[in-house]
Structure 1
Amino acid sequence: MQVAYRADNLFDAHLARHALEDAGIPAFVFGESLLGAGGELPLFGVLRVCVPDVALPDARAALQASGLLDGPQDPTFDGLPEAGLLPA
């Protein structure tokens, strides 16, 4: 198994898993049962969506096509010519 997607939260992990399964790629969410131990474990890097080794290139293509591999967008600065320093 190879990690195809590292999720920040459970919703993103399951979105990725469903996108992969819709593309015909078997996927499994690892770390889901560890979320209840948040006080004992770091809260980042726990959730991973894994696929079989041979399916990794197809999985990356499916995740890219679904928009899940795009970086987060900041809606605060959409449409502004330059963010720079703004008056308070």
Structure 2
Amino acid sequence: MMKRLVQDERPLVAIMVDGDSISARAGDPLATALALAGRLRLRASPTGAPRGAFCHMGVCQECVLHVDGALRQACLTPVRAGMAVELRGVP
């Protein structure tokens, strides 16, 4: 059995994703919080193909979504309590 080497003491906060509340660690990248919540499809391409986080460093723009009404990259946006996230055209 593996032991945790470091205990993460950052608080769990609630964020809204398309009207659903999910828990995430404050300060984690939003893309990480969404993936841990099972939300891998973040938007749809113009052809309707599902898109998600790809590079995780802000280069590819694949994870752009609406956060509190503004377009943001999920991989670069830190989670904070009460943020409202809208996935863009996800099938």
TM-score normalised per structure 2: 0.23
More helix by share: 1
